[in-house]
A and B are shown apart, each in its own frame.
Chain A
Amino acid sequence: MNDMRILERTVDTNEVKIVAKGVQVFYGDNHAIKDVDVDIQDRTVTAFIGPSGCGKSTFLRCLNRMNDTIDVARVEGDIRIDGEDIYDKRVDPVQLRAKVGMVFQKPNPFPKSIYDNVAYGPRIHGLARSKADLDNIVEEALRRAAIWDEVKDRLSAPGTGLSGGQQQRLCIARAVATEPEVLLMDEPCSALDPIATAQVEELIDELRQNYSVVIVTHSMQQAARVSQRTAFFHLGNLVEYGETSQIFTNPQDTRTESYITGRIG
Chain B
Amino acid sequence: MTDASLPANPAAPETRKSVSLVAPDARTQKRKAAEARFRMYGIAGIATGIFFLVVLLSTIVASGTGAFQQTFINVSVYLDPAKLDKKGNRDPEDIKKVSTFGYTPLIQQALFDVVETNNLETPLAKRGDMKALISASAAAQLRDVVLENPGLIGETVDFRILASSRVDGYLKDRVKREDVVRDKNIDAEHLDLIDLLVPLGIVEKTFNMDFVTGADASESRPEAAGIGVAMAGSFFMMLVVLVLSLPIGVAASIYLEEFAPKNRWTDLIEVNIANLAAVPSIVFGILGLAVFIQFMHLPQSAPLVGGLVLTLMTLPTIIISTRASLKAVPPSIRDAALGVGASKMQAVFHHVLPLAAPGILTGTIIGLAQALGETAPLLLIGMVGFIASNAPDGIASGLLDPNSAMPAQIYEWAKRADPAFYERAWGGIIILLVFLITMNTIAVILRRRFERRW
Chains A and B form a bound pair: yes
Q: How many A-B residue pairs have CB under 8 A?
A: 70
> In the complex, which residues of chain B have a beta carbon less than 8 angstroms from the beta carbon of A103?
339
For B355, the closest partner residue in chain A by CB is: A111
What number of B residues sit within 8 Å (CB to CB) of A? 22
Which single member of A69, A111, A121 contacts B340 (CB below 8 Å)? A121
| B 321-338 contacts with A by CB, 8 A | 330, 332-338
- Which of B341, B342, B453 has the largest number of chain A CB atoms within 10 A? B341
> In the complex, which residues of chain B have a beta carbon less than 8 angstroms from the beta carbon of A110?
333, 336-337, 351
Interface window among A16-24, A47-55, A94-102: A94-102
A45-80, CB under 8 A of B: which get 1 and which 0? 000000000000000000010100101000000000
B397 at the interface (CB under 8 A from A): no
CA distance A101 to B336 in the complex (A): 10
Min distance, Cβ A96 to any Cβ of chain B, angstroms: 8
CA distance A104 to B333 in the complex (A): 11
- B339 touching A104 by the CB < 8 A rule? yes
| B 435-454 contacts with A by CB, 8 A | 453-454
- B262 touching A120 by the CB < 8 A rule? no
- B262 touching A175 by the CB < 8 A rule? no
A106 at the interface (CB under 8 A from B): yes
B118-144, CB under 8 A of A: which get 1 and which 0? 000000000000000000000000000
- Which of B336, B337, B350, B454 has the largest number of chain A CB atoms within 10 A? B336
- A108 touching B341 by the CB < 8 A rule? no
- Which of B330, B337, B454 has the largest number of chain A CB atoms within 10 A? B454
B370 at the interface (CB under 8 A from A): no
> In the complex, which residues of chain B have a beta carbon less than 8 angstroms from the beta carbon of A165?
none
What number of A residues sit within 8 Å (CB to CB) of B? 30
- A120 touching B340 by the CB < 8 A rule? yes
- A69 touching B338 by the CB < 8 A rule? yes
> In the complex, which residues of chain B have a beta carbon less than 8 angstroms from the beta carbon of A104?
332, 335-336, 339
CA distance A95 to B333 in the complex (A): 19
For A104, the closest partner residue in chain B by CB is: B335
Q: Which residues of B contact A (CB under 8 A)?
A: 261-262, 330, 332-344, 346, 350-351, 355, 453-454
A–B complex contacts, Cβ < 8 Å, 24 sampled: A66-B338, A66-B339, A69-B334, A94-B341, A94-B343, A96-B341, A97-B338, A101-B340, A101-B341, A102-B339, A103-B339, A104-B332, A104-B336, A108-B333, A108-B336, A111-B333, A111-B454, A120-B337, A121-B341, A124-B340, A124-B341, A124-B346, A124-B350, A160-B454
The 10 A-B residue pairs with the shortest CB-CB distance in the complex, in nearest-first order: A98-B341, A108-B332, A121-B340, A102-B339, A97-B341, A108-B336, A111-B454, A158-B454, A94-B343, A94-B341
